[in-house]
Amino acid sequence: MSGFLRARLALYLDLIRWNRPAGWLLLLWPTLTALWVAADGFPGWHLLAVFTGGTILMRSAGCCINDVADREFDRHVKRTAQRPITSGRLGVKEALAVGAVLALLAFALVLTTNTLTVLASFAALAVTLAYPYAKRHIAMPQAVLGVAFSFGIPMAFAAVQGEVPALAWGLLFGNWCWVLAYDTEYAMVDRDDDLKIGIKTSAVTLGRWDVSAVIGFYAVFLLTWACLLDAPSRGLWLWLGLATASVQVLWHVALIRDRGREGCFKAFRLNHWIGLSLFAGVALSHAF
C-alpha cells in the first residue's frame, strides 16, 4: 500500500473513531441482549453477524454525518478541534462518501433479514440523520440520540420474531434512559465550551440538577430492564448482571459528582461495561 493510501486510511479510521470502540459497544450490547431475549437464547450465527457488523458500520457512518454537521462548532471545543474534518485534513464530500459507503454496507447486511427489519432500518437511518441537527433546536438532543442508540432493540425483535412486541418498546424505553444518563455525562465534559458557542445539551439544560438527573436515568433504566426481563424468574445469572451493573453505576456517580471533566469523561467511556454486564447476565440466564 502506498504512503498516500495509508495516510487516507488513517484519516478514515480517525474519522470513524476506530481506536475508540466505546461508541459502538454502547450500541452493540443492548442490541445483542435484545437478540437473545427475542430468540429465547442464542439467535444463530447469521443474525449475530448481521447485527454486530451492522452496528459497527452504522455507528461509523453516524460519526461521519455528525462530524460534517458539527464541523463549525467542533473547532471551538478543545476535545474535538483536531477531528479530521474540523482540522481540514479531510474534506466534507470525502467524509460523506465514506459515510455513505458504510451505511450501504450496513443496509446490505439488513437485506439478508426480513421485510419488517428492512423497513425498520429506514426509521433508524432517519433518526441517525436527524440527531446532529437536534442540538440546534432541542433543549435535550440526547433524547434523539437515545432513540438512535436504542433502535437496534426493535430491529432485533423484528429480525427474530417477524414482529415488534410491547416488550421490545419497553426495553427501548429503558435503554433510552441509559443513553440519557451516559450522554449527559459526556455533555458535562464540554459544558463550558457549549455554553460559549450556544450548543444545546442535557448538561446545559439540567444545570445544577445534572448529577441528580443522571442518577434518576440510571435508576429507571435498571428498574425497567429488571422488571421487563422478569429478573425474579430468570435466576442467579441475571441478578448477578444487574448487581454488577448497579455497582458500576454507583462508581460512575462518584466520578461525576464533582463535575470534573476527567471524571465525567471516564464515566462516559466506561459505560459499555454496564451494557456488557447486562448482556452477560441475560445470555447466561438463557444458557443455564
Q: What are phi and psi of 79, to 5 degrees?
A: -70, -25
Give the separation between CA 124 and CA 103, rounded to whole angstroms.
11
What domain range includes position 75? 3-287
> pLDDT tens, 116-141?
999 999 999 999 888 888 877 888 89
The whole-number pLDDT of residue 89 equals 84
Rounded-to-10 torsion of CA 142, 144, 150, 155: -170
Asked if the model's pLDDT at residue 115 lies above 90, the reply is yes
The whole-number pLDDT of residue 238 equals 94
Question: What CATH number should be reported for the domain holding residue 168?
Answer: 1.10.357.140
pLDDT higher at 193 or 283 = 283
Asked if the model's pLDDT at residue 1 lies above 70, the reply is no
pTM of the model: 0.93
Give the separation between CA 288 and CA 138, rounded to whole angstroms.
45
Give the separation between CA 248 and CA 260, rounded to whole angstroms.
18
> pLDDT tens, 202-211?
999 999 999 9
**Average pLDDT for the chain:** 91
Considering its fold, how many domains does the chain have in total? 1
The whole-number pLDDT of residue 135 equals 76
